[in-house]
Chain A
Amino acid sequence: MDLAKYRALFLEEATEHLAELSRALLALEKNAADVEAIDLAFRMAHSIKGMAASLDYHGPAELGHKLEDCLAAQRAEGKVSVRASALLFRGLEALERMVAVLRATGDPPPPADPALIAELSGQPADVPEAPPKKA
């Protein structure tokens, strides 16, 4: 396998996918039940997982997988909870850092933060959302 070629392809496509993931998560902040945004975010996480696994980049592959699982659970619930949204944004930022390391050094991205992986694995167990404030 021509690793340099695939690394360049990964960097290009993962960067685009992360931008799409970011747009989808921002849309979900405005409308937590936006089905199209959940589907888009799921596809981006799924795709990043697949590409990273193909190159033995275990960090983004594992994190992409957990984000995918989290999004699938939220999709089943019909909307993205506040807690899940925060976790998904943390996952996005972690993926962006991994891609930045790969771009800067050419080395495989670092492993995912075990604490974040553990929290994502805790889905769909969820903290109840705060009740609306009284007027």
Chain B
Amino acid sequence: MKRVLIADDASFMRQMIRDIIEPEGYEVVGEASDGVEVVEKFRKLRPDIIMMDIVMPKRSGIDAVRAIRSEDSTTTIVMCSALGQETLVMEAIQAGAKDFIVKPFKPDAVVATLAKVSEKSE
């Protein structure tokens, strides 16, 4: 079972992702509400996948990707973006994120993206 860490400053969004992916067999091992906390929880939990919001307090999702990539190359990072954030998504992918999903989340698209990145990481 893939272990997932969810990072978003809105608990609403974290809950929504959790509700989409848990029935699909993913284990949510932790949540983070800002860009500093996600790096700390990554170090502690070593998840297989991180669902990373771009706009977060204290440290942006892109900065958090860079910090995590500087320590680890195996954890798969999926960015959670909004429409109109294409440039930021590209920046995150260049920093080491594997893929992205777009808000508002379509459950099928979220599950398909996770399945795709999980296959690639095996």
Contacts and interface: CB of A to CB of B under 8 A. Distances in A.
Interface residues of A, number: 17
B16 to A, nearest CB: 6
A9 B12 contact: yes
Nearest to A9: B12
A50 B9 CA distance: 11
B12 A51 contact: yes
Interface in B69-122: 82, 103-105
Chief secondary structure at chain A's binding surface: helix
A47 B55 CA distance: 9
B9 A6 contact: no
A9 B9 contact: no
Contacts of A121: none
B22 to A, nearest CB: 13
Given A46-B55, A46-B82, A54 B9 contact: no
B11 A9 contact: yes
B13 interface: yes
Contacts of A10: 12
B82 A50 contact: yes
Contacts of B10: 13, 47, 50-51
A53 B12 contact: no
Contacts of B15: 6, 9
